Structure 1
Amino acid sequence: MALRLDGLSVVTDGKSLVRDLSLDVPDGTVVGLVGPNGSGKSTALRCVYRALRPTSGAVRVNGDDLARLPLRRSAQLIAAMTQDGAVDLDFTVEEVVALGRAPHLRGAQRLGRDERDACAAAMDHLGIGHLADRGVLTLSGGERQRVLLARALVQDPEILVLDEPTNHLDVRHQVQLLSLLRQSGLTVLVVLHDLNLAAAACDRIGVLSQGHLVAAGTPGDVLTPELVLDVFGVGASVVPHPLTGDPQLLYSLGPAH
């Protein structure tokens, strides 16, 4: 299931947050959005999971305008893990994960055996099965991140959008999460701040600056010292990873040149 941001623009309170953004996320690929703070990454993602209506342009799924689909149908197709996805009520981990099945249920329909098994499998896969009966408010930030990802996965989407999913995670769980995305077979659009993680996890990368898409392509094509200096204001050397060949950035701590 292919995703396309088609001439997307968002204007709020007279300020242009995203400007004529066009980006393809081909079926089954992982595409990363990177850019400085305030460059429009999260705003673009909010349009994809329909938390925000674009001022102009459209989000298209297999060519169809997402805004024309019933909300229930779009929730079956697209799952989101957001930065502001905190759970304020002290549900148990199991209850929060089970909320991912809501778009597939009708009314007060209860979860069936297969759905409960799917929730348990997602929790076990993310290493939180032992937390099933714990209240989410008692968890660490990293544990909550994994709970929210499990909720998104049991939604059984075809498209997964994630906004800074590695926040609060230690290195092992960052690698585990991004490996899971690579192996999921889903169409994935993910915002990442860590350019080295983006290079390792993503098939393609789109770079935003001040709401504009300034570059898009494979990590090797996009992540050049010139672009990193121009967009991020940081000096860096780019070297191939010794095992994978993925570009890796070595940052200079001195003045940018």
Structure 2
Amino acid sequence: MPRTEPTGGAEALAVDAVTVELAGARLVHEISLEAAAGQVVGLVGPNGSGKSTLLRCVYRVLRPAGGAVRLDGDDLHALSARETARRVAALSQEHSAEFDFTVAEVVAMGRLPHRRGLGGPTDGDRLRCTEALRRVRAGHLADRGFLSLSGGEKQRVLIARALVQEPRLLVLDEPTNHLDIAHQLEVLALAREAGPTVLTALHDLNLAAGHCDRLYVLRAGRIVASGEPHAVLRPELLAEVFGVRATPVRHPATGALQLLFDRLP
């Protein structure tokens, strides 16, 4: 079940009236949201609603045209790249590798922000990487070339790299893409167990309902609803925003909210 108590390695996130403009078009309109230390906060919304654009501002690929992103009160865009990398890890939808690094080498990149000078990986770094691969059930892939992996295997390796970075904030853009259902559940559980604050965009509303403490619903670059999943994922809102008929039910074992979907008549 979701927990909301602060975790020692987590920091509070505040997105304050962030606006994003690209090529003269405004894609995000003065969005404000909060994630308390240790919370898992989800962004949901139809394609093109601005979820990924907003996340890119949070992990500093884009600079907002207005507003600020703060982590424990510090403006993330005012921090050095090294300091940001020590506090924020991101898993984006787009990832590429020009060189065929081994899986072990890819995961070890997550330790770079913590190294001093030109020193190589320590024994502690190696142990962290081995453990992260074990946790995502990818230990057997350590010597494989990253480019030889399937989409789901690559996703698990990149999640391991984010975990060994030991961030205070973990930003995940559709982290369950390419994963089978067992690994989808494991990845979201691992993100919570790792301890950081988590901000994630999810398409699967049932995963969002079961794993997030709080949800923000986006449409056309604006927040149209926010709150705990059971209060946000109402049939009338889902019909308006997603264009589907939703029937809420309760999981027979956990009592968690689940949704059954049909096309609107």
TM over 0.5: yes
Q: For 2:192 and 2:74, how far apart are their aligned partners in 1?
A: 26
State the partner residue of 1:60: 70
Tell me which amino acid in the other structure corresponds to 2:185: V
Deviations 1:57-103 (A, max 9, x none): 00011112111111110110000011112323210000000000111
Q: For 1:183 and 1:245, how far apart are their aligned partners in 2?
A: 21
Q: For 2:227 and 2:253, how far apart are their aligned partners in 1?
A: 21
Unmatched tracts of structure 2, length 5 or more = 1-10
State the partner residue of 1:199: 209
Tell me which amino acid in the other structure corresponds to 1:13: A
Tell me which amino acid in the other structure corresponds to 2:254: T
State the partner residue of 2:106: 96
State the partner residue of 1:148: 158
SS at match of 1:90: coil
Instruction: Report if the CA contact (8 A) 1:223-1:247 is conserved.
Output: no
1:7 paired residue among 5, 12, 17: 17
SS at match of 1:252: strand
Q: For 1:87 and 1:3, how far apart are their aligned partners in 2?
A: 30
Instruction: Name the Cα RMSD after superposition.
Output: 1.0
Tell me which amino acid in the other structure corresponds to 2:249: V
Tell me which amino acid in the other structure corresponds to 1:140: S
Q: For 1:43 and 1:107, how far apart are their aligned partners in 2?
A: 34
Instruction: Report if the CA contact (8 A) 1:88-1:137 is conserved.
Output: no
Structure 1 stretch displaced more, 137-146 or 180-189? 180-189
Shift of 1:246: 1.9
Instruction: Report if the CA contact (8 A) 1:33-1:207 is conserved.
Output: yes
Tell me which amino acid in the other structure corresponds to 1:183: E
1:80 paired residue among 65, 90, 93: 90
State the partner residue of 2:187: 177
1:251 counterpart = 2:261: yes
Tell me which amino acid in the other structure corresponds to 2:220: Q
Q: For 2:97 and 2:162, how far apart are their aligned partners in 1?
A: 14
Unmatched tracts of structure 1, length 5 or more = none
1:42 paired residue among 52, 73, 76: 52
Q: For 1:241 and 1:5, how far apart are their aligned partners in 2?
A: 33
Deviations 1:144-181 (A, max 9, x none): 00000000010111110000010000011001111112
State the partner residue of 1:186: 196
Q: For 1:168 and 1:244, how far apart are their aligned partners in 2?
A: 26
Shift of 1:242: 1.6
TM, length-normalised to structure 1 = 0.97
Q: How many residues align?
A: 255
Tell me which amino acid in the other structure corresponds to 2:134: D
Deviations 1:126-154 (A, max 9, x none): 11111100001111100000000000010
2:143 paired residue among 128, 133, 156: 133
TM, length-normalised to structure 2 = 0.94
State the partner residue of 1:225: 235
Shift of 1:106: 3.4
Q: For 1:118 and 1:207, how far apart are their aligned partners in 2?
A: 35
Shift of 1:184: 2.2
Tell me which amino acid in the other structure corresponds to 1:80: A
Instruction: Report if the CA contact (8 A) 2:163-2:194 is conserved.
Output: no
Deviations 1:188-221 (A, max 9, x none): 0001000000001100111000000111110000
